[in-house]
Structure 1
Amino acid sequence: MSAVTTGTDAVRQPPARVPPAERGATRIADRVVAKVAAQAAREAVGPPPADAGPPHATVAVHHDTARVRVDLELGYPCDIAARCAAVRRQVAERVGALVNVTVTEVVVGVERLHPSAAAAGRIR
């Protein structure tokens, strides 16, 4: 038994393999990038004071770059500049590694300082 093919019965070929770079794109929502940035800020500052809220981040992503703003509350006394620098480094590193975007700017806003119990006794 032989198979006879006509013009309409042509043997189907599997589709040509498309290289991965040409198959499409993955878009990560800005709110996901913001959650990653907020988690990175939490990692950088450590446990917050008892009555402090968690860090909050907002982002603006354009193509493969992101600008991030992180608002947080810190315990006091502390080296505020060093803590903010640690947050900037951690946010840029973690967002870049996990989301694969280049972070061009990280603005850290300290919303509130929470005095420690020892410092509260000295404040008049």
Structure 2
Amino acid sequence: MAALVPAPAHGEPGTRGRLRIADRVYARIAARAAREALAEAWQGRTARGAPPTVSVTGPSGPSAPVTVRVTVDLPFPSDLTALARAVRDRIGADVRALTATRVAEVVVVVEHLVPEVAG
């Protein structure tokens, strides 16, 4: 009969290794969050803006925060401040929820205002 061998000790979770999330993962999460935050504002309009463009400054260490910069087009006329705030808040919440990474800052740059096309 074989003897039982104890499982190897793995140590505490923080000592077993580390997880590095690529900047492109943060960028994809942020782009999707921006699109979802603006979906209602674009609904029913014939003119559409370009998809959001995202750049990320990744964490410099295991528990360091990320900084996200997103460039968006917004429908005009609309409450631009509220839409930019919605994009910022949604990106911060989604990145935190999906990666457990703190977000130091979300910079929202409005590239174009897209008026409704008369038609």
Q: Same fold (TM over 0.5)?
A: yes
Q: C-alpha displacement at 1:14, in angstroms?
A: 5.1
Cα distance, 1:17–1:107 mapped onto 2, change above 3 Å? closer
Unaligned runs of 5+ in 2: none
1:42 aligned to 2:48? Answer: no
CA–CA separation in structure 2 for the residues paired with 1:67 and 1:44: 18
Contact 2:10–2:16, Cα closer than 8 Å, also in 1: no
**What are the Cα deviations for residues 28-81 of structure 1, in whole angstroms up to 9, with x where unaligned?**
001111111111111111165644211111111223301110001111111111
Cα distance, 1:89–1:51 mapped onto 2, change above 3 Å? closer
Amino acid at match of 2:112: R
Cα distance, 1:19–1:105 mapped onto 2, change above 3 Å? same
CA–CA separation in structure 2 for the residues paired with 1:83 and 1:66: 22
For the aligned residue pairs, the C-alpha RMSD in angstroms reads 2.0
Larger Rg, first or second structure (1 or 2): 1
1:113 aligned to 2:113? Answer: yes
- Aligned ranges 1:77-88 → 2 under 5 Å: 77-88=77-88
TM-score (normalised: structure 2) = 0.80
Describe the SS at the equivalent of 1:38.
helix
Q: Percent identity?
A: 44
CA–CA separation in structure 1 for the residues paired with 2:58 and 2:100: 11
Q: C-alpha displacement at 1:100, in angstroms?
A: 1.1
TM-score (normalised: structure 1) = 0.77
1:53 aligned to 2:50? Answer: yes
Q: State the partner residue of 2:70.
A: 70
CA–CA separation in structure 2 for the residues paired with 1:56 and 1:39: 10
